């Protein structure tokens, strides 16, 4: 049979393990939400750029009448380059955010131990 101190220690170990599992689940949910939000933002920007470009073109504006999904009138590929750069930057920010979140989680685990 266990002594009272052994039982209390086992309860504390189990509580700490449950806290670690809960924390890991919260981090995964937060990472998934951040990734989904950045993906939605990229899709939103990709849909908005042609509309933004249309407002800049009109009779008498001097810009080309058709812009082919470009935010710049000189090149059809420039809009795609801008969207690719924005997607890269968002991916980079999400990656940095996840690494900092993991570092914060590791520090919390060290404090708990």
User: Is the per-residue pLDDT at 14 higher than 90?
Assistant: yes
pTM: 0.48
pLDDT value for 28: 84
In a domain, 68, yes or no: yes
Residue 20 is assigned to a structural domain of this protein: no
58 within some domain: yes
Query: Can you read off the two tokens belonging to residue 49?
Result: 């750029």
Residue 64 lies in domain: 29-112
Asked if the structure places residue 23 within a domain, the reply is: no
Handedness of CA 64, 67, 71, 72 (dihedral sign): negative
68-109 per-position pLDDT tens digit: 544 555 566 666 777 788 888 888 888 888 888 888 888 888
Q: What is the pLDDT of residue 18?
A: 92
Per-residue pLDDT band at 7 (split at 50, 70, 90): very high
- For the chain, the domain total comes to 1
Interior angle at CA 107, CA 24 and CA 29, nearest 5: 25
Tens of pLDDT, residues 28-66: 888 888 888 888 887 887 788 777 766 655 554 544 555
15 inside domain? no
| Closest residue by Cα to residue 51 from 39, 67, 38 | 67
How many Cβ atoms are within 10 Å of 67's Cβ, its own excluded?
A: 21
């Amino acid at each position: 049979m266990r002594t009272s101190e052994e039982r209390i220690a086992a309860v504390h170990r189990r509580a700490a393990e449950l806290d670690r599992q809960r924390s890991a689940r919260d981090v995964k949910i937060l990472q998934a939400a951040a990734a989904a939000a950045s993906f939605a933002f990229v899709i939103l920007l990709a849909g908005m750029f042609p509309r933004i470009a249309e407002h800049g073109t009109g009779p008498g504006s001097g810009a080309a009448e058709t812009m082919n999904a470009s935010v710049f009138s000189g090149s059809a590929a420039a809009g795609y380059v801008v969207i690719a750069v924005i997607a890269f930057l968002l991916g980079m920010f999400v990656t940095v955010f996840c690494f900092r979140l993991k570092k914060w989680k590791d520090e919390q685990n060290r404090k708990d131990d």
